[in-house]
Amino acid sequence: MEKPPVPAESAFGESGPWLAPISEGSHPTSASTTESIREAFDILTQGVVCFDADHRLVFFNRRYVELLELPEDLLQRQPSKHEIVAFQRRRGDFDSPGRFFDESGQTVHPDPVTDEMPVHYWRSVRSGKTLEVTVARLSSGLYVRAFSDVTAYFRAQREAQNSASRLHRILNATDCGTWEVHLMTGRVEINDAWARMLGYSHEELQPMSRDGWRAMVHPDDVKQTQLASLAFMTGTAKQFDSCFRMRHKAGHWVWVRCKGKNFDGVLEDRSIVISGTLFDVSGKVVAQEQAAKLTDQLRGEVLVQRDQLDRAVRDMAQISAGLAHDLRTPLRSINGLASILVEEDTANDPALVHTYAQRIAELSGRMGRMITGMLDLLNVLRQPTSFQPVRVSVLAQKQMEVLRGDSSVAFICAETPEVDADPELLGKALEAILRNALIYTHDSTGPCIELGYDPETQVYFIRDNGIGFDMARADLLFKPFTRLHQKEPVEGLGMGLALASRCLERMGGLLWADSSPGRGATFYFHLRKEGEDQDAKSSAMRID
């Protein structure tokens, strides 16, 4: 009659009396042989237990007792599997988190027909250990179960899974592209983020190779990536690290930073692998370019401010020297005339008093104009600039209408483009230059003043047909309280062109002149465009 199948409970904690006697009559072995077999089983790292066809404990070794933590007195009574299972159930061995599972981690249950457990499964025990269980049925009808402690293996597996999950979360959080290059085959493995960075799906770039990658690099960056790769492969650099551009699917270029290191050793297929990351650094590169541009702009502004400060200091020194010199002369004259007026002989001569008083008034008026000119220049030096679109020709027309009055001087004014400038400063500069031209064309035949513009060099000019001046003394032209002509048609302080020059400089421009005696004079000026450097200004100064 066929023996009934072993119930499911046999898989849930079977055990047998350690050193339980093996039936002497059933085996043709001596007592010493039996003892040797028991000793051999006791030194095994696996726990072993055997039940007969009636589910009665036949044999177990010491390791079985240790792994399942069963009491020795229970096993010495040669209990049935049902008794051992009942003991474990009462003790709570089968309560959560204890469980039985297969290799994939799925919970296993007894066969619904035979009520048997699988021949190979894993279980967690109350001590926290994980045991691998193998079930075998012998031809004699005995059932043998072997228990192996695989706790360390499962712990290492869980740690590896946790590490992989942690790395996966980090990579997803950083949206980092990853890559591996197999040097012997040239095959390249990339992740979804690598492909997405360049506008592709992962499938669109398969299969990826080193040549395929290189074809996506900007032609101007290929050489530098090759040099970085060579330094890495020859050991000059400890890792590959390079920034370069790659073509996006949409056609534009994406700045990326690529870093990689050698895999320590070889893979199972004997291939050597370099692994690394790829980051989109376009935003950083753009920010750096903008920062560099801003730095250059600020450096230029600082240089302009420094030049203006240097010029202001020189102007202050010249103003101080000019006032000390020019004011001393009229003051000395005023003092002398005043002292004569108080004398009795002079006081009794009304005509002489009138003459001296008139002269004192003239000298004091000159002093007042000098002080006013000084204050006007100081006001230009400290006045904040306010740029807005203006046309030089429009401002010049307005100034000429006021200055010319009933004069017969002809004024030719060309159309000029719109330019960003300070209207007040530009108006003062044009007034000073045009007033100077009117003064020195007053006695000319057919006096004429012309305002023109050269679009190629972006330089303006005001030309007259007046008396002109000697270029040998041109360095004095824009100094405060300096006049090139000792005898002029009208009296002047030598402040007009100095004021015009400072006004244009405050707007980033420049004023210079060209002339010869008797042939009129031409004054050129230049208004700095946004982003223009000093080289452009110097080029404009060379126009004849």
What are the sequence ranges of the domains in the chain? 8-154, 175-280, 387-544
**Whether the bond into 17 is cis, omega within 30 of 0:** no
Please name which of 55, 112, 100 lies closest in space to residue 82, comparing C-alpha atoms: 55
Give domain 387-544's CATH number out of 3.30.70.20, 3.40.50.1820, 3.30.565.10, 3.90.1720.10: 3.30.565.10
CB 464 within 8 A of CB 440: yes
Buried b (16+ CB within 10 A) or exposed e, 265-276: eeeeeeeebbeb
The CATH architecture to which 175-280 belongs is: 2-Layer Sandwich (3.30)
Question: Where do we find the tokens 């002989």?
Answer: 345
Length of the chain: 544
State how far the Cα of 114 lies from the Cα of 439, in Å rounded to an integer. 126
Phi, psi of 58 (to 5 degrees): -110, -45
CA 20 vs. chain centroid, Å, equals 77
Give the Å distances, CA to CA, from 39 to 32, 36, 160, 198: 10, 5, 38, 68
Please name which of 273, 274, 272 lies closest in space to residue 242, comparing C-alpha atoms: 274
CB 503 within 8 A of CB 376: no
CB atoms within 10 A of CB 25: 5
175-280 and 387-544 in the same fold: no
SS3 277: strand
Please name which of 287, 314, 286, 246 lies closest in space to residue 502, comparing C-alpha atoms: 314
State how far the Cα of 144 lies from the Cα of 41, in Å rounded to an integer. 13
Report the percent of the chain where pLDDT is more than 70: 80
CA 213 vs. chain centroid, Å, equals 25
State how far the Cα of 322 lies from the Cα of 367, in Å rounded to an integer. 12
Fill in the amino acid letter for 281.
V
CB atoms within 10 A of CB 451: 23
- Quote the crossing angle between the two packed helices 328-341 and 350-382, to the nearest 10°: 160
Largest CA distance in the chain: 173
pLDDT at 322: 62
Within 8 A by CB and 6+ apart from 138, the residues are 144
Element (H, E) at 429: helix 423-440
CB 10 within 8 A of CB 51: yes
pLDDT at 7: 36
- 41, two tokens: 């089983």
Which residues of 7-114 form beta strands (DSSP E)?
A: 47-51, 57-60, 100-101
Please name which of 290, 291, 183 lies closest in space to residue 229, comparing C-alpha atoms: 183
Give the Å distances, CA to CA, from 399 to 42, 393, 416, 466: 118, 10, 16, 19
Within 8 A by CB and 6+ apart from 540, the residues are 457, 458, 459, 510, 524, 526
Question: Where do we find the tokens 């039936």?
Answer: 23
Q: What proportions of the chain, in percent to the nearest 5, are helix, strand and coil? A: 45, 20, 35
The CATH architecture to which 8-154 belongs is: 2-Layer Sandwich (3.30)
- 371, two tokens: 């002080």
- Quote the crossing angle between the two packed helices 496-506 and 350-382, to the nearest 10°: 10
- 77, two tokens: 């009574």
Would you give per-residue pLDDT tens digits along the chain (544 residues)? 333 333 333 333 333 344 444 444 444 555 666 677 777 787 888 999 998 888 889 889 989 998 998 998 898 888 988 888 888 888 888 777 667 888 888 888 877 776 677 889 998 887 788 999 999 988 888 889 999 999 888 888 888 777 767 766 666 666 788 888 887 788 899 999 899 999 999 999 999 998 899 999 999 999 988 888 888 877 788 888 899 999 999 999 999 999 988 765 544 555 577 888 898 898 888 888 888 888 888 888 888 778 777 777 776 776 666 666 667 777 777 778 777 777 767 767 788 778 878 888 877 777 777 777 677 777 777 778 889 999 999 999 999 998 887 778 899 999 999 999 999 999 999 999 999 898 888 777 889 999 999 999 999 999 999 888 888 777 778 777 666 665 554 455 677 888 898 889 888 899 999 988 888 899 999 986 544 444 444 343 433 3
Fill in the amino acid letter for 92.
G
- What totals of helices (H) and strands (E) does the chain contain, helices first? 16, 19
pLDDT at 230: 84
**Whether the bond into 71 is cis, omega within 30 of 0:** no
pLDDT at 307: 77
- 423, two tokens: 């209207």
Q: What is the DSSP letter of 204?
A: G
CA 345 vs. chain centroid, Å, equals 88
Within 8 A by CB and 6+ apart from 389, the residues are 418, 419, 420
CB atoms within 10 A of CB 523: 24
CB 16 within 8 A of CB 51: yes
**Cross-strand pairs, 390:** 419
Within 8 A by CB and 6+ apart from 334, the residues are 360, 363, 364
pLDDT, tens digit, for every residue of 341-355?
777 677 677 887 788
Within 8 A by CB and 6+ apart from 297, the residues are 531
